[in-house]
Amino acid sequence: RARCGAAGTARRAEAVPLEAKRYPILSRRAPLGKFPKLPDTVHPGVVTGKAYSDLLQWAKENSFAIPAVNCVSSSGINACLEAARKMDAPIIIQFSSGGSQFYAGKGLDNKNFHAAVAGAVSGAYHVRALAEQYGIPVILHTDHCAKGLLPWFDGLLDANERYFERYNEPLFSSHMLDLSEEPIGENIEICVKYLERMAKIDCALEMELGITGGEEDGVNNEDVNPEDLYSKPEEIWQVYEAL
């Protein structure tokens, strides 16, 4: 996943009059505006499905990375959107389980990850309401989800499916499953199950191979062997064959 960006990659969206900009949550019509240097499928606002795939492939072909920022507040999201507009570049806005709970506020009970689901969905709607207004393409993503956080993941997929029924696209562009703490066979088996469900709504899946370094959402790998931090070719082949 990309962690650093390049300026000037989006090449300014063609101007869309203010009165012509839609509010995605309230409108079914397709977004207006396109980018002269980006694939025709990519438009201002949240990209999903083929537009999402085309944007990643375009970034790969042009040898640049798209920054991914974990957000925990609406003001943080707004700062990301403003920065992307100033740099004339796409951006990934994402939420972790803990960040999603924080977004919802300390007053909500997080039993069965209720607050974490509500916070992530709230953040997603905030991004969708504003991304198109800022005139930049946004990938809407959730970060590392370990096995113990799967009820949070399930709640997000429920929200995606409800959104898809109304708007014919998922609420989020993609989600990440991080089952690197589990045996590789179990990791792949669970990812296959979720991918089958997500493919029906054009939502992309990111999975983790190897071991994530450092500490995140209660998973601590600060003392692991350095060679275990990297994906292994034989594991990648297993994933390719299964997915």
Tell me which residues are annotated as active site.
143
Kindly provide the residue ranges of all beta strands, DSSP E only, lying in the chain, ordered along the sequence: 45-46, 68-70, 91-95, 137-142, 174-177, 204-207, 214-216, 219-221
Neighbours of 219 (CB within 10 A): 17
DSSP 190-233: HHHHHHHHHHTTT-EEEE--S---EEETTEEETTS-GGGGS--H
Amino acid occupying residue 140: L
Q: How remote is the C-alpha of 220 from its chain's centroid?
A: 23
With CA atoms as reference, report the closest residue to 99 among 37, 130, 66, 142. Answer: 142
| Dihedral pair phi/psi, residue 186, rounded to 5° | -70, -40
Using the 8-state DSSP alphabet, how is residue 178 labeled? -
| Dihedral pair phi/psi, residue 233, rounded to 5° | -55, -40
Tokens 């899946």 label which residue? 205
